[in-house]
């Protein structure tokens, strides 16, 4: 494995193979005051053993870890936190916005389901939407064990250890990145992936209002571009060196895709449900929540840029081009 060490700091990547995302990546960072774990993989045997083997390989022990820091709340980034902290209690740092999500706070989770219930209804998703809502309701109960058991420390300042903490919402509302200015290294979770564009998931804010996640994602990518990082330690796929060309490509792709939705609207397809079906075909049925999220986030982007308008007809939003 490539050696990532510079100015008294060494990154030890933990790379776990994964079917859809190529790999799940998380990182041990040896620094002058200890050993951090940035993100914590998925909760399964393969992640756990890959992690333990890597620790051994570098002649380290689980007990050497001094803190865990989390980029965002998704299960493939926080999976091993309970296993690690039950054996070796270390502080876990996360964005304040991660806490209700990581703790799976019941009222937060219920409000989130109600948000999607209204969204799918108003986007004309019919039975598919209802099915997804039933699935979400059952998942709340079924996945309660995924709640992090340990106390989580809120990252309140824009500095943590030797990092600048940068807010990069879009893929997830609570997403943060850790910027090592001295070494030009960025730990940015799922903001930028080498082999696929990261999805900007539709999510409610704390008051149940829809976040403009794709607009946030664009702004976060632009923040990342302005850092001029040498290395982006990303959450899946290859570690990215000199990322700026890729970031520019991702930004362009957002506009391309939005244009394609705009063309469909100009051809007379007016609801999210019908746009999703026309654009994604069978993938719409296979990956319903993801696809709806993609369409809605791009339409929000078009609407903010005054390219489309929407009207509520019989409880369903209909989009029209603005020219």
Residues that bind Zn ion (CB under 5 A): 74, 190
CB atoms within 10 A of CB 302: 22
How far is the C-alpha of 192 from the C-alpha of 261, rounded, in Å? 23
Residue 73: CB minimum distance to Zn ion, A: 8
How far is the C-alpha of 44 from the C-alpha of 85, rounded, in Å? 16
Nearer to Zn ion, 190 or 203 (CB): 190
Nearer to Zn ion, 78 or 295 (CB): 78
Residue 29: CB minimum distance to Zn ion, A: 20
Residue 25: CB minimum distance to Zn ion, A: 11
Token reading at 150: 């340990």
Q: Are 76 and 146 in contact (CB under 8 A)?
A: no
Residue 176: CB minimum distance to Zn ion, A: 12
Residue 61: CB minimum distance to Zn ion, A: 29
Nearer to Zn ion, 190 or 294 (CB): 190
Nearer to Zn ion, 20 or 127 (CB): 20
Nearer to Zn ion, 162 or 175 (CB): 175
Nearer to Zn ion, 190 or 274 (CB): 190
Nearer to Zn ion, 74 or 257 (CB): 74
Residue 224: CB minimum distance to Zn ion, A: 15
Chain centre distance of CA 71? 8
Which residue has its beta carbon closest to Zn ion? 74
Residue 235: CB minimum distance to Zn ion, A: 6
β-bridge mates for residue 154, sequence order: 94
Nearer to Zn ion, 124 or 243 (CB): 243
Alpha-carbon distances, residue 15 vs 22, 163, 234 (angstroms): 10, 22, 11
State the SS3 of the chain.
Answer: CCCEEECCEEEEEEEEEECCCEEEEEEEEEECCEEEEECCCCCCHHHHHHHHHHHHHCCCCHHHCCEEECCCCCHHHHCCHHHHHHHCCCCEEECHHHHHHHCCCHHHHHHHHHHHHHHHHHCCCHHHHHHHHHHHHHHHHHCHHHCCCCCEEECCCCEECCEEEEECCCCCCCCEEEEECCCCEEECCCCCCCCCCCCCCCCECCCCCECCHHHHHHHHHHHHHHHCCCEEECCCCCCEECCHHHHHHHHHHHHHHHHHHHHHHHCCCCCHHHHHHHHHCHHHHHCHHHHHHHHHHHHHHHHHCCCEEEEEECCEEEEEECC
Nearer to Zn ion, 169 or 243 (CB): 169
Residue 72: CB minimum distance to Zn ion, A: 6
Residue 101: CB minimum distance to Zn ion, A: 11
């Amino acid at each position: 494995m490539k050696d990532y060490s510079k100015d008294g700091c060494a990154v030890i990547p933990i790379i776990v193979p994964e079917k859809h995302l190529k790999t799940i990546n998380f990182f041990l960072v040896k620094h002058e005051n200890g050993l951090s774990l940035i993100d914590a993989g998925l909760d399964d045997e393969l992640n756990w053993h890959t992690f333990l083997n890597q620790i051994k390989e570098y002649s380290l022990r689980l007990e050497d870890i001094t803190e865990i820091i989390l980029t965002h709340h998704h299960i493939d980034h926080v999976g091993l936190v309970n296993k690690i902290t039950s054996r070796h209690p270390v502080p876990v740092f996360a964005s304040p916005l991660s806490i209700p999500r990581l703790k799976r706070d019941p009222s937060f989770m219920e409000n989130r389901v109600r948000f999607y219930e209204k969204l799918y209804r108003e986007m004309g998703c019919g039975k598919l939407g209802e099915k997804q809502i039933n699935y979400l309701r059952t998942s709340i109960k079924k996945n309660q064990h995924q709640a992090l058991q340990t106390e989580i420390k809120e990252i309140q300042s824009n500095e943590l250890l030797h990092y600048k903490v940068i807010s990069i919402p879009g893929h997830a509302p609570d997403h943060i990145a850790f910027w090592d200015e001295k070494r030009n290294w960025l730990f940015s979770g799922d903001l930028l992936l080498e082999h696929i564009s990261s999805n900007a998931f539709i999510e409610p804010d704390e008051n149940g209002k829809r976040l403009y996640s794709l607009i946030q994602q664009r702004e976060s990518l632009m923040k990342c571009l302005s850092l001029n990082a040498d290395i982006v330690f990303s959450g899946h796929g290859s570690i990215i060196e000199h990322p700026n060309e890729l970031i520019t490509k991702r930004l362009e792709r957002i506009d391309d895709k939005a244009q394609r939705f705009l063309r469909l609207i100009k051809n007379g397809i007016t609801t999210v449900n019908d746009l999703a079906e026309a654009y994604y075909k069978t993938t719409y049925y296979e990956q319903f929540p993801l696809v709806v999220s993609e369409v809605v986030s791009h339409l929000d982007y078009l609407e903010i840029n005054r390219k489309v308008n929407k009207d509520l007809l019989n409880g369903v939003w209909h989009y029209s081009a603005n020219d």
